[in-house]
Amino acid sequence: MRQQRTYSTEGVILKHTDLGEADRMLTLFTPRKGKMRVVAKGVRRPVSKKSGHLELLCHSQVHVAHGRNLDILTQAQTLENYPHLRTELWHMTCGFYLAELVERFIEDDTVHLDVYNLLLEALRSLDADAQQLHQQRAQGIAIDAERQRDRTKLLLRYFELFLLSFVGYEPVLRTCAHCDAELRPEENGFSPVLGGALCPNCSHLWAQSLSMNALKVLRLLQRSEWAQVPPFHLDARLQAEVEHAMYGLLRFHLERDLKSWSFLEMLR
């Protein structure tokens, strides 16, 4: 059967790289084709009608023609642009972080509909949080910036946990990752190399400490839908402990740091 010369798909723009004087290579994450790369010809020209629909993090419907080496994007139409997210540097950087995670963890041409839906959910939540922040400023409401960021930090941890689970690296948080003993409500340990929490008996061998409250937060996020996660406040120490555990897992599986980590740290 002869292959169709063109096809249409929706997708999120994860990354772009300039080519030549006016072209750009885009990395798209799509629901049915997975992560793919296409060339958008002439998109960097000021007169291009496609450029506004192909910004980073944009959720767009695109038409693509099969090419010899890379497919060629011929048309694009925005489905969701997350305008409020783009007005807040912190929220926008969080969005770039999520996109970088997906770009690093998902292999080309591998379908991950669960990760695709997770990414859309996270971008919509970031946009809603940024919109609320903007409205509070407009109404002259005093804003606690650090408390406002608590919710987005929790969202990042939620996204990390489910991304790891969907790609086959679900953290072990109910039983000891080494001896399989049930974890008790006490200070335990955590080992990225072994893939999760460790009981006190095994913790002294490899692990960093993991408080009872940090384990509770990770378990809550792991078993909940995002809309059901309560808006609780974590103190700075607990926030850092949960983040440190998740970053350790991500570094172990990626075997590298992410570029957006340093920018997130700087914004704090």
pLDDT tens digits for range 109-152 = 999 999 999 999 999 999 999 998 888 888 887 767 677 788 99
- pLDDT score for 220: 97
How do 71-80 and 34-40 pair as beta strands? parallel
> 64 vs 68, which has greater pLDDT?
64
CA distance 21 to 256: 32
- The stretch 4-29 carries a mean pLDDT of 94
The CA–CA distances, whole Å, from 217 to 58, 96, 160, 200 equal 31, 24, 13, 19
- pLDDT score for 1: 44
Judged by DSSP in three states, 263 sits in: helix
Reply yes or no on whether the pLDDT at 2 is more than 60. no
- Structural domains in the chain, CATH included, are 6-80 (2.40.50.140), 85-267 (1.20.1440.120)
Q: Tell me the pLDDT band of 240, cut-offs 50, 70 and 90.
A: very high
- pLDDT score for 4: 67
pLDDT tens digits for range 147-205 = 778 899 999 999 999 999 999 999 999 999 999 999 999 999 999 999 999 999 998 77
Give the residue among 159, 148, 124 at the shortest CA–CA distance from 233.
148
Judged by DSSP in three states, 74 sits in: strand
Q: Are 125 and 225 in contact (CB under 8 A)?
A: no
